[in-house]
Amino acid sequence: MLLIINAPFLKQTHVSWYTKDGSGGNSIQLFEVVESHYKHPEAPEDATIPVIEIKFVKEVKRTSLEAGALVLLEANQNAVEVQFRVS
Return the bridge partners of 70, or none: none
Query: Across the strands, what pairs with 51?
Result: 36
Q: Order the strands of the 11-22 sheet from edge to edge.
A: 11-22, 27-39, 48-61
Residue 25 has a pLDDT of: 85
Closest CA to 69 of 30, 33, 32: 30
With a pLDDT cut of 90, the percent of the chain lying above it is 52
What pLDDT, on the 0 to 100 scale, is given for residue 57? 96
Helix, strand, coil percentages, rounded to 5, for the chain = 30, 45, 25
Question: pLDDT confidence of 45, banded at 50, 70, 90?
Answer: confident
pLDDT one-digit tens code per residue, 51-67: 999 999 999 999 999 99
